[in-house]
Structure 1
Amino acid sequence: MTKWASVQHCISILESFAPKRYAYEGDPIGLQVGTLQKKTTKVMIALDVLEEVVDEAIEKKADLIIAHHPLMYIPLKRIDTSTAKGRTIQKLLQHDITVYAAHTNLDVAEGGVNDWLADALKLQNRAVLQSSYEEELLKLAVFVPASHAERVREALGNAGAGHIGQYSHCSFTTNGTGNFMPLEGSSPFIGKQGIMESVEEVKIETILPASILNKAVSAMLNAHPYEEAAYDIYPVNNPGQKLGIGQIGTLPSPMNLEELAAHVKNAFSLKAVRAVKGHDRPIQKIAVVGGDGNKFIKGAISKGADALITGDIYYHNAHDAMEEGLTVIDAGHNIEKIMKHGLQRVIDEGLKKDHYSTEVIVSEIHTDPFTFV
């Protein structure tokens, strides 16, 4: 039986991977045109929502476009259908195509745009170039009879609690005695109404990001045998996972400028790149940022990068980088097109996991406005 996903379900898969809270303030992510309250038979992943991309969606019968660059990044004062932007919106509405944008939240997400770029460059020993988001951490402590302690621990770990570095399911257990009196109307797992009860219990403590608190508590309560589970939630000052824009890492082996340029062209299927030569030493430590990378020149220098790979470098910023000894490869803003296949995998895997028949395709329209002649 054919089972179509709702647009809202597709977006829930997306936002589990790249939550809205990761986005930069003021970034117009989210629903751009249409509605989330409908079924979708075909999703198209695009970098940009241009008129020809919408024509492609119409031809291929896609009814949801998930794009990286917001269609209405600059707010519109009017929809003039004699303009390309106006015609684009008109076609979307006429053909009932929803448009949803995941921009800086997809950049910041672990395994998102900048990770895909770093993967293509084969960077090793990687770290975030510039932090923009840090997870708030909490501690959850729950009291449970010893007979059900392992069940509750496993439920918490499977929900994502107790993840520390390269370790999962981390918790600490202490033994003690729980005291309670079941009142009239209760259905106690242990004890009888009106009689004081003492039970050998364990206290399970674990740490978790605030973003999964509801999920973890729900999993814990479902695994807990008591009608009313006793648990505490504490704020902690431990630093949480830091996410941000860009990646910095090392190439498998050093390269000179010409070799690096060839490597970048091959990684992103480019005919040419612009290069700023900042030094003559071997290049191995690389910073990479999708999109406009002008604001990340100083960060790349401070992190000890030999070269920055990004797009949209301004003339005077190129001078600054060169004088500070940073080599720059301007590969163009359009290298972010790597997100099309990356996000296709994310959405498609989520839909298949839930046994939906909705198809996920990528736009084949080349939206880079620049060409080399």
Structure 2
Amino acid sequence: MEKELKHADVFRLLEKLAPKDLAYDWDNVGLQVGSDKHLVKKIMVTLDVLEPVVDEAINKEVNLIIAHHPMLFKPLNQIHVESPQGRMVSKLLKHDITVYAAHTNYDLAEGGMNDILCEKLNIQPTHHVREYRVQSLYKLVCFVPLSHAEKVRDAMGNSGAGHIGNYSHCTFQSQGQGTFKPLEGTNPYIGTQNQLEFVDEVRMETIVEEENLNKVVQAMINAHPYEEVAYDIYPLENKGKKYGLGRIGTLAKPVTLREFAVHVKNKLDIPYARVTGDLEAQIRKVAILGGSGEKYIHAAKQKGADVYITGDMTFHAAQDAWQMGLAVIDAGHYIEKAMKESVKRYLENNLDDNVEIIVSETNTDPFQFI
């Protein structure tokens, strides 16, 4: 019998790709409207949640919308059902449609927005445009009777402990003898009250990423036979993954700015691209940041980029980049629509085949070109 899939199961899968704690503090990621307890019927992936998108979801009998841009950025003071946002919320609740958003956490994640754009443009990423944070690592040490060493080790590994590069379940074990005296009121797995007990045990140590620490500790405790589990947690100086905004990378061979701008336009399926710089200059090193990236022109230049691809460049920021010798391709904010097919593919690869996942066909780009 197949396990019924709840919205919460999909949320957990998305947060494995893009942990919520990566999001900027001003952002509003995660559940927007609806419930995590409803069963999944049909999923639709979209860049934005606008009223036509909600109407599309209703017509296609979707009950879970996965979006990049949150539909609720700020707390609502009122829900006026005659306003565009109020109508949306009313329709979503009436039709039991849940909305979930992965925004800046998805931008920062490995395999997220900026890696998708690099893949589509054949850019080999090497650095971030701007560093955001470095993942903290911990050493977890626990003491386990020999009889339960394998069970505890598997529980920790299956919960995310012991990942080093492309290896999982990495631990170090050494054997020794543990002592304890069960006092009044205890119900020891081994031993007798008020008698000192000597037990052959394994000291088991493993490395754990910060975001998995609580989950791994709980799994270890659940698998351990003792009433009181002895374990230690040590913060490590060595660091884990680096997270940052945008990507810096290289092309397989130099091309002119003109050729590269046409390549960007075609590969990202956009009607235009605004370009600053010498169109005949040779381009090899590329910076890219999906969304609004004009604040990071100096970071892109400092990292040695020949050209910077982003959206929402204002006149003076474009002038500043031009004057400092950094070519800019403003491909628009809407290039982030690339996430739709990528998120669909990720969900399809990790969910049962019987879950239908579609991408929204509604155009949410507010601009037209005449």
Give the CA deviation at 1:314: 0.9
Q: Deviations over 1:221-249 (max 9, x none)?
A: 45545554321112233333221221121
1:313 alignment partner, SS class? coil
Q: How does 1:73-88 map to 2 (within 5 A)?
A: 73-88=73-88
Aligned equivalents of 1:8, 1:334: Cα separation in 2: 28
The 1:7/1:201 distance shift into structure 2, 3 A limit, reads closer
Q: Which residue of 1 aligns with 2:340?
A: 340
Give the CA deviation at 1:325: 1.3
Give the CA deviation at 1:281: 4.6
Q: Which residue of 2 aligns with 1:100?
A: 100
State how many pairs are aligned: 370
Q: Which residue of 2 aligns with 1:364?
A: 361
Aligned equivalents of 2:243, 2:160: Cα separation in 1: 17
Aligned equivalents of 1:189, 1:24: Cα separation in 2: 46
The 1:346/1:190 distance shift into structure 2, 3 A limit, reads same
Moved more, 10-19 or 315-324: 10-19
1:39 alignment partner, SS class? coil
The 1:329/1:288 distance shift into structure 2, 3 A limit, reads same
Asked if the contact 2:257–2:279 (Cα under 8 Å) also holds between the matched residues in 1, the reply is no
Aligned equivalents of 1:167, 1:9: Cα separation in 2: 25
The 1:169/1:128 distance shift into structure 2, 3 A limit, reads farther
Asked if the contact 1:46–1:65 (Cα under 8 Å) also holds between the matched residues in 2, the reply is yes
Give the CA deviation at 1:297: 0.9
Q: Deviations over 1:181-236 (max 9, x none)?
A: 35577666655555433344332222211211132223434554555432111223
1:369 alignment partner, SS class? coil
Aligned equivalents of 1:96, 1:154: Cα separation in 2: 39
In structure 2, what residue type is equivalent to 1:95?
H
Q: Which residue of 2 aligns with 1:163?
A: 163
2:367 alignment partner, SS class? coil
Q: How does 1:128-147 map to 2 (within 5 A)?
A: 128-145=128-145
The 1:37/1:151 distance shift into structure 2, 3 A limit, reads closer
Q: How does 1:1-373 map to 2 (within 5 A)?
A: 4-145=4-145, 149=149, 152-182=152-182, 194-224=194-224, 226=226, 228-277=228-277, 281-352=281-352, 357-373=354-370
Aligned equivalents of 1:239, 1:208: Cα separation in 2: 11
Asked if the contact 2:47–2:337 (Cα under 8 Å) also holds between the matched residues in 1, the reply is yes
Give the CA deviation at 1:271: 3.0
Aligned equivalents of 1:95, 1:151: Cα separation in 2: 45
Aligned equivalents of 2:113, 2:132: Cα separation in 1: 15
Give the CA deviation at 1:119: 1.5
Give the CA deviation at 1:23: 0.9
Moved more, 158-167 or 131-140: 158-167
Q: Deviations over 1:3-28 (max 9, x none)?
A: 65322332232223222211111212
* Greater relative contact order (Cα < 8 A, sep 6+): 1
Q: Deviations over 1:312-371 (max 9, x none)?
A: 11111111111111111111101111111222233334432xx8x442211011211223
Asked if the contact 1:312–1:333 (Cα under 8 Å) also holds between the matched residues in 2, the reply is yes
Aligned equivalents of 2:152, 2:306: Cα separation in 1: 49
The 1:350/1:54 distance shift into structure 2, 3 A limit, reads same
Give the CA deviation at 1:59: 0.9
Unpaired segments ≥5 residues, structure 2: none
Aligned equivalents of 1:36, 1:146: Cα separation in 2: 40
Asked if the contact 1:278–1:323 (Cα under 8 Å) also holds between the matched residues in 2, the reply is no
Aligned equivalents of 1:8, 1:98: Cα separation in 2: 11
Asked if the contact 2:118–2:125 (Cα under 8 Å) also holds between the matched residues in 1, the reply is no
Q: Deviations over 1:262-306 (max 9, x none)?
A: 221232122321111168652122111111011121111111111
Asked if the contact 1:177–1:200 (Cα under 8 Å) also holds between the matched residues in 2, the reply is yes
2:88 alignment partner, SS class? helix
In structure 2, what residue type is equivalent to 1:363?
S
Give the CA deviation at 1:149: 4.4
The 1:179/1:4 distance shift into structure 2, 3 A limit, reads closer
